Structure 1
Amino acid sequence: MTPALSVWSTKLGAVTTASTPELEADRQALIGLIKDEAVFHGDFTLSSGKKATYYVDMRKLTLDHRAAPAIGRLVLDLVKDLDGVVAVGGLTLGADPIANSVMHESVHAGRPLDAFVVRKEPKDHGRGRQIEGADVKGKRVVVVEDTSTTGQSALKAVEALRREGAEVVAVAVIVDRKTGAQAAIEAEGLQWLGSIDLDDLGLAPQ
């Protein structure tokens, strides 16, 4: 029997499971692509400033036609039980293709979600917006990320969304590096949801 997809929920401190063998097939296919095409070994500096001997470059896959639909379905499955969520997005650039994939897959699944983009800084021209796309004021939204290290990129997006009047209910990540992001997100009272971790990829936390 195909094992169920693992989902982490730090708000409840529990492990839940998603429902279908089809989603687990998506997850296993994505794990294979990540191992084959998105894990690079060497000396790297992560966005957090931390040093690492490998780098998981998820943008090679979030922008890949083979992986993007599965990513959309997996993230959509992570957020399916969150009541009232109407949009997903996060800090540009890493979150942008994920949000787009989720938006498209949500239409196919009959539960349409909109997408938004959080700029690193507000525009200095035009309408001066920091958040583009869906109107998030007064709306329940989820922040998405491709990989997590310390959670600071997600928290920067959370801060901007809260200033705009959004209710951020969770952060959903494709690859959890298990290096502190979960605790940082939980400390903000947000639910943490993940699809793949380093054990799945045969990598050790750094």
Structure 2
Amino acid sequence: MTIDSDADADRERLRELIDELAVVRGRVTLSSGREADYYIDLRRITLHHEASRLVGRVMLRMLDEAGIGCAAVGGLTMGADPVATAIMHAAGAEDRAVDAFVVRKAQKSYGMGRQVEGPSVEGRRVVVLEDTSTTGGSALTAVEGVRAAGGEVEAVAVLVDRDTGAAEHIRETAGVPYLYAYSKSDFGLE
């Protein structure tokens, strides 16, 4: 099997797992306050024994194909945390050094007083992550925190884009590329 067919198999298997385990149909209120006819509970994926490995490989391949290099990945806790860890481990399996970091909603007022935790992002090229995005607000909070910590944000990358304006909002506000591995249409959601 070639690398490309492995990548295609990983991508298809992850799509199947997301559809089977994470897509919940029915009226819900999202963290953005908006209502939707479905919910994609990606923690059922990013914390799943099989799916988490696939998340790392699919997301890392997506970044590679887009020509986005980085020394670290992370985003606003908690949705981004397992995605970052999955990418870090996938990169490590290829003998590539990619660190993970966590961004708090606000800087701590105690201890080291950090908003960005983990290996320093200062002067490093990083990618801000989200598991899914509706408005882009969480990613933009993370971008702001990373930039304040001296990180150079190369892109925002999400596992599943809801196609509700986050991409445009992030590109316009943060001035960086917005990448996603899957869109809601990949799961028959409209």
Name which of 135, 148, 152 aligns with 1:150: 135
Letter in 1 for 2:54: A
Distance 2:21 2:60 in 1: 23
Letter in 1 for 2:189: L
Letter in 2 for 1:48: S
The match for 1:82 is 68
The match for 1:8 is none
The match for 1:101 is 86
After the TM superposition, list the runs of 4 or more consecutive aligned residues in structure 1 that deviate by more than 4 angstroms. none
Where does structure 1 lack aligned partners over 5 or more consecutive residues?
Answer: 1-18
Name which of 36, 40, 54 aligns with 1:52: 36
Distance 2:76 2:144 in 1: 11
Letter in 2 for 1:46: L
Q: Deviation digits for residues 152-189 of structure 1, max 9, x if unmatched?
A: 11000001111111110101111011110110111121
Distance 2:89 2:77 in 1: 18
Name which of 94, 110, 134 aligns with 2:95: 110
Deviation at 1:141, TM superposition (A): 0.3
Letter in 1 for 2:74: G
Distance 2:17 2:113 in 1: 39
Letter in 1 for 2:106: E
The match for 2:115 is 130
Deviation at 1:124, TM superposition (A): 2.5
Letter in 1 for 2:30: L
Letter in 2 for 1:198: K
Distance 2:5 2:109 in 1: 48
Query: Is the counterpart of residue 200 in structure 1 residue 186 in structure 2?
Result: yes
Letter in 1 for 2:156: V
Identity between Structure 1 and Structure 2 (%)? 50
> Higher relative CO (CA 8 A, sep ≥ 6), structure 1 or 2?
1
Indicate the RMSD between aligned Cα atoms, in angstroms: 1.1
Letter in 1 for 2:85: N
In the comparison of the two structures, how many residue pairs are matched?
185
The match for 1:7 is none
TM-score (norm 1): 0.87
More helix by share: 2
SS state of the match for residue 71, structure 2? strand
